[in-house]
Structures are given as C-alpha cells and as structure tokens.
Amino acid sequence: MDIAVRELSYAQAIQEAMAIAMDMDERVFLMGEDIGVYGGAFQVTGDLVERYGADRVIDTPISELGGAGVAVGAAVTGMRPIFEFQFSDFATLGMEQIVNQAAKMRFMLGGEVSVPLVMRFPAGSGTGAAAQHSQSLEAWLGHVPGLKVIQPATPHDAKGMLLAAVADPDPVMIFEHKLLYKMKGHVPEGHYTVPIGKAEIRREGRDLTIVATSIMVQKALDAAAALEGEGIDIEVVDLRTIRPIDRQTVIASVKKTSRLLCVYEAVKTLGIGAEVSAMVAESEAFDYLDAPIVRLGGAETPIPYNPDLEKATVPQVADIIAAARDLVKGVR
Amino acid sequence: MATARKAVADSRANLPFVYRHYSQEQLKQVLHKMYLIRRFEEGAEECYMRGLIHGTMHLSIGQEASAMGICMPLAEDDQITSTHRGHGHCIAKGAEVSRMFAEFFGKTTGYCKGRGGSMHIADVAKGNLGANGIVAGGIPIAVGAALSAKRMKTGKVVVSFFGDGANNEGAFHEALNMAAIWKLPVIFVCENNGYGMSTSTARSTAVKNIAERAAAYAMPGVIVNGNIFSEVAEASFKAVERARAGEGPTLIESKTYRHRGHSKSDRNRYRTKEEIEDWMANRDPITLFETELRDFGFIDDQGIQAIRDAVAKEIADGIEFAKASPAPEIATLEDYVYTEHA
C-alpha cells in the first residue's frame, strides 16, 4: 500500500522554505517588488507578509538596481536578505550590483567580509510574455566568479536548495522556471537542504547521458520514457547548479554511456551546454565518446509572442526524442 | 580653575562650531590627520612615479577637510561607503597608513591583502566598507547597511561618500528614494569637486546645486564649503543627530576641489591653470584650518611643526612597512573568491 506523500507545488515549496528560513533566523528577510500584499507576481511569497509583517517582507519601489544594492549592503552588514527580481529579465537593471558588488566584494576586500545574499529570478519562456519577460539569463551570471548559480528542477530541490542558499555565506542566484511554479511533487516537511554544486542522476541508463537544466530535466525524462519502448536506455543528469558545476557526476556518467546530449532552454550559443560539452571534451571521458557531443538549446532569437513560435524557440520533448534517437543510432 | 575654564568657554562662544564643540586635543588630532591624508597621497603619488605602485590612483588632495569634517561626529562602529577617490575617507575613519601603503604595494599586509589596491581600499574593522570603482556603486550599499542598523537596532549611522558625477547615476536616485521612504539612518555626502572626470557639473547636471536633489526625496539638502573643516563637521553633526533620532537621511553637498587630475591619465585639458592655482593658493583646506587653529590660539608654530614632523615619520615608516611586507603567493590566486568553509 502506498503511503500518502505530501505534495506541494514548486511555488509552495519555495514559500515554505522562505518561511522556515525566517522562523529559524531573525536576520532573514525578503525584499522585492510587489511581494507583500500582492503576494509576488507569481504568488511565490503569497501571504507571507501577513505572517511575518511588512518589516520582513519588504515591498521595494520599482528600483531593481537600488534594491539589489540595498540587499548587498544588508547582507554585508549582518542580515540575510532574500531578494526577488520580479522577472529574471529585470536582472539586467541590477547587473551592476550583482556582478560588480555582490560577486566581488569579498575578493576585493581580501576576505574581510562575506555577502550572504540570496537572489531569486523567475525565468524562462512559455507564458506568452514575449521577449522582455521570458529570457533565461543564468549563463550570464554563471560566468561570474564569486556567485553561485542554481536551477532547481523539482519542488523538493526548490525548497532544499533555497534553504542551502540561505545558509550559504556567499551570494547564491536561484533561477526558477516560471512553468515549474505549478509543478507538484513530494516535498518533505521541516528543514532540510539539498547541496549546492551537486548534480543529481534522475534516471539511470546505459546508452546516452542527457545533461539537462531546470524545466528541461522533466522534458528529458519524458523523452527517455518515450524511448524506452525502442530499447534506448537514457541516463538523465539534472545539473542543478551551474556554478560551481559538478564535473565529477557528469564525467562519470559520460564515461558510462559514451554519449552526451546537453539540453537547456537558454540561447544555445555560449550557453551552459557549451560549458558542459567542453568540460567533457577536456576530460578523460573524451576517450569514451562514441559519438559527437550534441547540444539542444534555445534558438538564436529573442522569445516571440506567438505561441507556436514561442514553443519552437526552445527544445521540446519531440526535439529531445529525435536528437537522442539519432545519437544512439549513430545517425549523427 | 573653574573660572579659568569658564573664561576659555566664554572666549570660544563666538567661534565656529568645532571650536566650541571639540577639545583642543581633538582639533590638533584633526590637523594631524589632515596632514596625514595629504602626505599619504603625496607619498603614494611619488611611489607611483617611481614605479613602486602600479595601476592608477585618484587623489583627493584638496578635499581633506571634507573627509575629516564628515567623519568627525561618527563613532568607531558607524560605517561608511567610499569612492574611487577614497584615501582620505579611509584615513579619516581610522585606517593606518602603513596597511594602506601595503595595499597599494599589493602586499599581503594590506587592508585587502593586495587584492583591492587603491580603488577598493577598505578597513572593515573601522567601519569602512570599502571604496568603489563604480560611480554610485556604494550608495545603495550604504542604504542596505542602514537598513541592517535599523532592523538590528544597533544605533549605527552610515555615511555614503560619492562625487558630483554620481548624482546623475540611477543608483543615486533609487537609493535616496528608498532611504527616505524607510527613514533610514544614512547620510549622503556628495563631495562636489566640480568635475566628473573632465565634465563639469555645469555641463552635466540640470540643477545648480546637487543639494537641491534632496527636495525630490523629501530630505534636508545642505550645502557646505567643503574646504572649511568646521562647516563640514557642523553639517555632519546635525545629520548624524537626525539619523540617530530615527528622523531619516540627509543629503550634504560639500563643495570642494581636487588639486590633482582625475587619475594618472589626466592631461588636464578641461581646467585652467589659473583656476587650479587659485584653489591651491587661496582655499587650501589644510592652510585654512591651520590658520584658524593658530589665530584662535589652539596651536602655535611649534605645535604645527611637531605635527608635520610626526606625520612625515609616519609616512616614511608606512612606506618602509609596505616595502618590507611579503607579496602574495601565486598559489593563493583564487583565495577569497568564496567564503572558505571550515
């Protein structure tokens, strides 16, 4: 008999994590645009303002640069801010504080301070929000030493990685795919953490390794399930963290399967797939490869409004199935 | 004895703020530190010319009264954020010149262990959260520090130094607005030296006085002569009182002048020689303060000479300390990127 497991949505899991973090530590507080009575643009903060008050769930003016800087300043002087960018695209307005200040402050000051800052970025396409509200910019931040960048793909990890981020002494950037917010899954009660910097093998297989991030993990799993009937046995690695990247798990998997397919939503060129591919090509796994490495990423275009065009911009399950089949059958 | 003290007090009654408010010893310390800032920067410049320091530097020579005046009413655990022209702020907040020189020389004994240099000079233990290479970069950070102070009820006040160039950055406006709506204990100090690199405030800024910007954020905007120590200290004192009382932020515009160019690449094509010489000859902040101290009987020529001699020795010792200090090992290149877990 199945024991009923508690299920939460990805958004609820994040909200629960933030509540636990605030219960555990007076220094933790939330900042962002319309995260108070409005509950956040995606209802992630929900009613937290009623439970924790406007002093700990702070609505900021529409000032991404200033707001990000205030969060940096609070973090460096003893608080533990969790800052929400309403859309990850708005990070472009706060880049100065993220890249020049948060990421570098500890280094520039020779280790005299830490910046225990968490920033949350609702990201990705699929909501019809068009070019300025649908981007996947995680690789931009993944390029900056001093930051940690994570992309939880399940409700379980969304909670556990956020709690790990709050406990982390350094700035952690969390990219949350907006289409995942409604995804339901098992989420344990109480406090637990999922380590930053550790990939997870979501499905074991022998024929091909798919390294996927964020929403592409579920799509890769769907593709793997569909290919099972064809006798193709796929391993799916959920990268989870793009900085620091889990080299070991990826390389070990490729050594086992001898084939690598990288799947990510962000624009293909210069994205995380390029990094994973290069990492494997430079490693001892290179000698094990039976086929060229393949990347499936976003098209070289801004995200369009038309729903069919929008879908065509990012990899879908059918694309993954086709690419995986070709790779295993030696077509590529 | 009591009568004598009263006589002194009476004789000070008509003097400017600092002479009524601070002891003779404190004021002599101020002169000492103003000389320390001046000689530190002259020393750093000389070391740069001789190839002992690389990179670049932005000297605040001519702005010493501003740094000292603002920091005068601050307690040791009050905090500041500073700018690329931040050597004076660092010394005014209590840093040792030996460790500053060591930083400029790129040594492990420097405040940033040789990772920051002139543009990121800091002294966290004394409340200096760091100079900043990004114009207006430190302003929102100061507001965040003030938010911490308010939330943790530490009673700390935070000062954000910035230049006139920063007043046209978005970060300045966003930060002032947030500090005002949340009534945070922060003081915004615009050291207006007339030029953002080469562009004069007349060409860059729509308002005549940067202090006028304060009206847009419902906070007091105060203009002081940044070369007169007492004027700056008095404005800072009032702003600190206001901040500590929970009444919110103040914008102080300290009008001053840098004697040197913007940085070491400056060919000085945007200012006349006459203008620079006029400021140096007639409005040097150290000369002005020293003259007042002497005129008001707080110090004599011998006392002034003693300060100059002590400063000269401190500077010479500081440079020696920096030269003798070890350079970082290449193997430590990636240290301090992340917090090392124990």
A145/A142 Cα distance (integer angstroms):
8
Helix (H) or strand (E) holding B143: helix B138-151
**CB-CB contact of A160 with A193 (8 Å):** yes
Strand, coil or helix: B188: strand
What does the mean pLDDT of chain B come to? Answer: 96
Q: What is the pLDDT of residues B247-272, one digit of tens each?
A: 999 999 999 999 999 998 898 899 99
Residue of B nearest to A145 (CA): B337
What does the mean pLDDT of chain A come to? Answer: 97
Candidate list A16, A33, A64, A265, residue with the active-site label = A64
Close Cβ partners of A102 (under 8 Å, ≥ 6 residues apart): A68, A72, A75, A115, A117, A146, A147, A171
A193 contacts in B (CB within 8 Å)? none
Residue of B nearest to A27 (CA): B152
The pLDDT of residue B9 is: 59
* Residue B342 confidence (pLDDT) above 50: no
**CB-CB contact of B159 with B80 (8 Å):** yes
A61 contacts in B (CB within 8 Å)? 174, 177-178, 181
Q: Would residue B130 be called left, alpha or beta, if left means φ above 0 and alpha means ψ between -120 and 50 degrees?
A: left
The pairing of beta strand A57-59 with beta strand A208-212: unpaired
A111 contacts in B (CB within 8 Å)? 113, 335-336, 339-340
The pLDDT of residue B5 is: 59
pLDDT, mean of residues B133-140: 98
For Cα atoms B133, B138, B144, give the angle at the middle one, nearest 5 degrees.
Answer: 150
The pLDDT of residue B6 is: 61
Q: What is the CATH number of domain A7-186?
A: 3.40.50.970
Q: Tokens representing A116?
A: 């225990």
Q: What is the dihedral of CA A254, A257, A261, A262, to 10 degrees?
A: -40
* Residue B332 confidence (pLDDT) above 80: yes
Q: What percentage of chain B carries pLDDT values higher than 90?
A: 94
Closest C-alpha among B43, B64, B46 to residue B257? B64
A77 contacts in B (CB within 8 Å)? 79, 129, 144-145, 148-149
Strand, coil or helix: B24: helix
Residue of A nearest to B113 (CA): A110
The pairing of beta strand A172-177 with beta strand A148-150: parallel
B30/A42 Cα distance (integer angstroms):
55
Which of B168, B169, B176, B336 is the best mutation test for A, with the most CBs of A within 10 A? B336
pLDDT, mean of residues A48-55: 98
Q: What is the pLDDT of residues A76-135, one digit of tens each?
A: 999 999 999 999 999 999 999 999 999 999 999 999 999 999 999 999 999 999 999 999
B337/A111 Cα distance (integer angstroms):
8
Q: What is the pLDDT of residues B164-192, one digit of tens each?
A: 999 999 999 999 999 999 999 999 999 99
- Confidence tier at B287 by pLDDT (50, 70, 90): very high
Q: What percentage of chain B carries pLDDT values higher than 70?
A: 96
In chain B, where the domains are located = 55-93+115-265+278-296
**CB-CB contact of A193 with A243 (8 Å):** no
* Residue A3 confidence (pLDDT) above 70: no
Question: Is A64 marked active-site?
Answer: yes
Give strand pairing partners of A263. A212, A296
pLDDT, mean of residues B306-335: 98
The pLDDT of residue B12 is: 83
Residue of B nearest to A116 (CA): B339
B28/B290 Cα distance (integer angstroms):
9
Q: Which fold has domain A200-329?
A: Rossmann fold (3.40.50)
Angle between helices A155-167 and A10-24 (to 10 degrees): 30
A74/A60 Cα distance (integer angstroms):
14
The pairing of beta strand A148-150 with beta strand A241-243: antiparallel
Q: Tokens representing A113?
A: 């301070």
CATH 3.40.50.970 location in chain A: 7-186
Closest C-alpha among B109, B106, B97, B117 to residue B43? B97
pLDDT, mean of residues A282-295: 98
Q: What is the pLDDT of residues B26-58, one digit of tens each?
A: 999 999 999 999 999 999 999 999 999 999 999
Helix (H) or strand (E) holding A238: strand A234-238
**Which of B114, B115, B174 is the closest to A63 by Cβ?**
B174
Q: What is the pLDDT of residues B193-209, one digit of tens each?
A: 999 999 999 999 999 99
Q: Tokens representing A295?
A: 């990347």
* Helix and strand element counts for chain B (H, E): 13, 7
Q: What is the pLDDT of residues A243-263, one digit of tens each?
A: 999 999 999 999 999 999 999
Superfamily grouping for domain B55-93+115-265+278-296: Thiamin diphosphate (ThDP)-binding fold, Pyr/PP domains (3.40.50.970)
Q: Could A68 and B140 be called an inter-chain contact, meaning their C-beta atoms sit closer than 8 Å?
A: yes
Close Cβ partners of B174 (under 8 Å, ≥ 6 residues apart): A61, A63, A65, A66, A67, A69, B140
Q: Say which residue, A131 or A3, is predicted with more confidence.
A: A131
Q: Could A109 and B111 be called an inter-chain contact, meaning their C-beta atoms sit closer than 8 Å?
A: yes
